[in-house]
């Protein structure tokens, strides 16, 4: 049987325990999961694309089925086709995520109907967790260490200190 590959695209600015939880659970369903780190996002990012890839790699190195790659920058469906992915994974925390993800999934379906969108519900303890909230709290020196992989937590603290020194 051919290898079941899934793609998990996102900004991962930075990767949080919410993302790790989705990947842990997706690992039970797929043979390989590609974390596709997008760089051409409209969001203002804290970390560069290279930094986000390196951080995700450091945090996920214990997960044998997970591989971190750069998003090609084109359509995710085209990237999925290129890498032979059968599924596109996204995490859903709440109704707002659901509505957004539903429209993306429907649009992706018009482009590449063979690619199945798999929405995984967030674990209850991570429903409130987002990379943007992490950045907001960390900016004011809040402790977010319980919500991030250790390597990411260290990098967030260092990055914000570096930014503050430049001011």
- Is 131 in the active site? yes
Nearest partner of 67 among 36, 40, 21, 25, judged by Cα: 36
Nearest CB to ligand ADP, comparing residues 5 and 131 = 131
Of 11, 90, 131, 135, the active-site residue reads 131
- Is 71 in the active site? no
Backbone angles phi, psi at 6, to 5 degrees: -125, 155
Work out which of 93, 105, 109, 145 binds ligand ADP, going by CB under 6 A: 93
Binders of ligand ADP among residues 110 to 139 (CB under 6 A) are 122, 126, 129-131
Q: Which residues of 4-27 are buried (b: 16+ CB within 10 A; e: fewer)?
A: ebbbbbbbbbbbbbbbbbbbeebb
Nearest CB to ligand ADP, comparing residues 67 and 93 = 93
Total residues in contact with ligand ADP, by rule CB under 6 A: 17
Of 4, 93, 109, 159, the active-site residue reads 93
Q: Looking at the annotation, which residues are catalytic? A: 19, 43, 93, 131
């Amino acid at each position: 049987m051919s290898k079941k590959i899934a793609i998990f695209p996102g900004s991962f600015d930075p990767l949080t325990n919410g993302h790790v939880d989705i990947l842990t659970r997706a690992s039970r369903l797929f043979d390989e999961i590609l974390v596709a780190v997008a760089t051409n996002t409209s969001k203002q990012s804290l970390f560069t694309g290279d930094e986000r890839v390196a951080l995700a790699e450091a945090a996920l190195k214990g997960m044998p089925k997970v591989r971190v790659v750069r998003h090609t920058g084109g359509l995710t469906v085209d990237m999925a086709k290129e890498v032979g992915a059968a599924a596109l994974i996204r995490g859903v925390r709440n109704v707002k995520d659901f509505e957004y993800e539903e429209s993306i999934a429907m649009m992706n379906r018009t482009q590449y109907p063979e690619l199945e969108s798999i929405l995984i519900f967030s674990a209850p303890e991570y429903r409130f967790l987002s990379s943007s909230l992490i950045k907001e709290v960390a900016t004011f020196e809040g402790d977010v260490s319980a919500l991030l992989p250790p390597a990411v937590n260290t990098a967030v603290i260092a990055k914000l200190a570096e930014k503050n020194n430049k001011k």
